[in-house]
Chain A
Amino acid sequence: MAYHALAAVLLPLLAFVINGFLKGKASGWVSTIAILLSGVLAIIVFNHTFNGGTIHISRLWFTIGDTQLQAGVLLNNLSTILLLLVNLIALPVHIFSMAYMGHDQRYGRYFTCLSLFCFSMLALVVVDNMVLFYAFWELVGFSSYLLIGFWYKKEVAIQANKKAFIMNRIGDVGLLIAILVLYSQYHTFDLIKLFGEGGLISQSYIKDGMWIAPASSIPAVWQYIACVGVFLAVCAKSAQFPLHTWLPDAMEGPTSVSALIHAATMVAAGIFLLGRAFPMFNTSELDVLAIIGCFTAFMAATIALTQNDLKRILAFSTISQLGFMVMAMGINAYASSLFHLVTHAFFKCLLFLVAGVVIHEMQHVKDENHLDIDPQNILYMGGLRKRMPLTFIAAIIGGAALVGLPLTSGYLSKDGILIQAFEWADTKSAVYMTIPIMMIITSLLTAFYIARLIFKVFFGKLRVLDVKPAVLCHISDGGWQYKVPLILLSVCCLFPVFSLNPLLYEHSWVYRAFMSAEHLERMNIYHTIIPVGLNIMVVVVIYYAYAVYVQERKMLPFAQNNWAFDFSYHQWYFNKAYNTLFVKPVLALSGGLFWFDRTIIDGFISLLQNILLWLSKMADVFDRYVIDGFLHLITAIVQYIGNFVRSFQTGRVQYYLLSMLAVIVAWFIFKTLI
């Protein structure tokens, strides 16, 4: 079975390689067929392996020092279901893309990158050691980088992909540090040895400030650092506070990409990592997870309320839902979290594809009439339900699942999380009760913003006509490439796929796959009161939204220009804050260090150089004027004497005589006097 899984992983890689050499429209088919085959293999693997224990094969990759690095495939419930999930999401998106990107000049390049992403994502799911995990973790980020910046001439797009990659890199560094801490503690990268049943992690404990493992012990702080590292990685990939700001910007990529990567699969990788590394978190660390997740969910929901960009609303919705999952992990609702991951993937992907269809049609209108509008702005849309009925139905299903209305998959997973949140808060002090209450509020906000979105887009009248009344509107559901994925995903958003009982999440097979049987008892009142109460409130909220946006009653509780609106509209000013707090200081630091390099270090060197130069000049001066000067003086004296003596050699006999006489006289006088 492991080889089936391996083949499923490698097929998109094959497509990637083939597409690398291929030009033209064929690449779309290559990728789609590859993902289709991969999906078939994934189904086979799933059938054989799910709930069938762990399958693990590995081969020696390389040896470094005494450590042998194995590369292998690890299949358990978690990886198998994600393998299937990724394929199931990727297939409709591929089909959708063939139409959506059909007119792009770099069609082939798009599918090349898409295949690379699928390969990385599938591989990430099945690999069995931390090094490979990190490798594909980063490759996923890289392919996402390529796809966000696919329209590389768009300035915002390339800014966004840079931001995404760097944000993700922060997480990567955290993950790397965590992996290395684990390696230095346990001397292995193997996932099973580390996190498996009775693995090394479960054998180690913290005592007296030391983190004691079977083989070695290091200060306990490194356990926290490892956890923080993993958590940073999760935050980056799954767009949790404080590293969430890249995801809304990432919407600059093609919508199909947003559907696949930034809604369903890649962002889920963070949750997947949490699932893999779950054993290493202790209670207090889990509490932190819960708080962060809860905060993120709430924050993103409030931001989504005021956004006008169709995709941005969905992006914040994604952040919010991922917050739910992280919180679920934090409250030890491991199974619910993964369950929500699966259901969310389908309904969010569906919503994005709906958005894709709508945007595509709006773009069409824009191009046809040469309008100067943003095709993603919901303020220009409206009344589309009659023009694109299938899309409308899909949107309703997706929205319902997101809100968690009964009969949808979202109801099963989301209410499960909420119920367990209340149960969890019961066991803790009263302060912790704020978390489930916040989650309830977030759910209501979710209902409001998604209702706003659907009402703005599909109800009322087409507001483009306000801009230019005489536009030609050829708006429809599009071809089969649009319809098939929507239908496929809509079906997956309904309850029968996950559970035969539409009301009880505990009966879902996904939930059961991750939860041992004894937890399935309905122990308290929450199991009844929360779904009922929540759904009633949700319906009220949706009606309220209907009243505001469709019937256009003036019922908004606050005006559009007060501080709360601005705060929400500007996404809580995170971008500005990060820019001021991190980007600018780092740039300033680098500028300062460069100045230091040029001025101080180089200055020191050139100072030395100057000193040397000066010394040599001094030596030169000394040489020239003192030593040479001395010699010159001697020669000058000799020359002077010579010239002086020469002046006697007049050739005049009388002078000679005179001087001879002078000497004689002098001698005489000398003799006489002495």
Chain B
Amino acid sequence: MISLTHYLVVSGILFCIGLYVVLVKRNAIQILIGIEMMLNTAILNLVAFGRYDKLNNGGQMFALFAIVLAAATTAVALAIILNVYRRYKTIDPDKVDQLKD
């Protein structure tokens, strides 16, 4: 029996790594990967807690939903990245700074 805390620790570490990737990378696709990583840690948590809900199986159900949504997100995100690339000839988010005042 693997304790919940183990899962949580692993997911916490993984989340931090994902976050780091999101913050640091100069590449939209890598950032996307970071996001996916963070999503996965969330899913891991859901799954881990889902063990204790046998009847409704809520953890696993929502883990499934999350996976599907992640797929959708990725698809849209990639499409956006492609469009950004077409317009700016780069996918470095630092250089796409039209939000700057």
Contact = CB atoms under 8 A, between A and B. Distances in A.
B98 interface: yes
Contacts of B44: none
Interface string B16-51: 000100111000000100000000000000000000
Interface in A559-587: none
A650 B95 CA distance: 10
Given A650-B97, A658-B23, 18 more contacts: A649-B99, A649-B100, A649-B101, A650-B100, A651-B96, A651-B97, A651-B99, A651-B100, A652-B94, A652-B100, A653-B93, A653-B99, A654-B23, A654-B24, A654-B93, A657-B22, A657-B23, A661-B19
Interface residues of A, number: 10
A661 B16 CA distance: 12
Contacts of B19: 661
Contacts of B100: 649-652
Interface residues of B, number: 13
A646 interface: yes
Nearest to B25: A654
Contacts of B101: 646, 649, 651
A646 B101 CA distance: 8
Interface string B79-101: 00000000000000110111111
Nearest to B92: A652
Interface in A635-674: 646, 649-654, 657-658, 661
Contacts of B31: 654
Shortest beta-carbon contacts, A-B, top 10: A651-B100, A651-B97, A651-B99, A649-B101, A652-B94, A653-B93, A652-B97, A658-B23, A654-B23, A650-B100
Contacts, number: 29
User: Taking chain B's interface residues, is the majority helix, strand, or loop, or is none over half, making it mixed?
Assistant: loop
B26 to A, nearest CB: 9
A646 B100 CA distance: 9
B94 A654 contact: yes
Contacts of B97: 650-652
Contacts of A661: 19, 23
A654 B99 CA distance: 12
Max chain B Cβ within 10 angstroms of own Cβ: one of A646, A650, A653, A658: A653
Contacts of B93: 652-654
Interface in A181-210: none
A646 B99 CA distance: 12
Interface in B40-88: none
A651 B88 CA distance: 15
A363 B100 CA distance: 114
A652 B100 CA distance: 7
Interface string A335-358: 000000000000000000000000
Contacts of A658: 23
Nearest to B24: A654
Contacts of A653: 93, 99
Contacts of A649: 99-101
A641 to B, nearest CB: 14
Interface in A303-333: none
A565 B24 CA distance: 127
9 contacts: A646-B101, A649-B101, A653-B93, A654-B22, A654-B23, A654-B31, A654-B94, A661-B19, A661-B23
Nearest to A645: B101
B43 to A, nearest CB: 21
Contacts of A657: 22-23
A649 B23 CA distance: 16
A650 B101 CA distance: 7
B23 to A, nearest CB: 6
Nearest to B28: A653
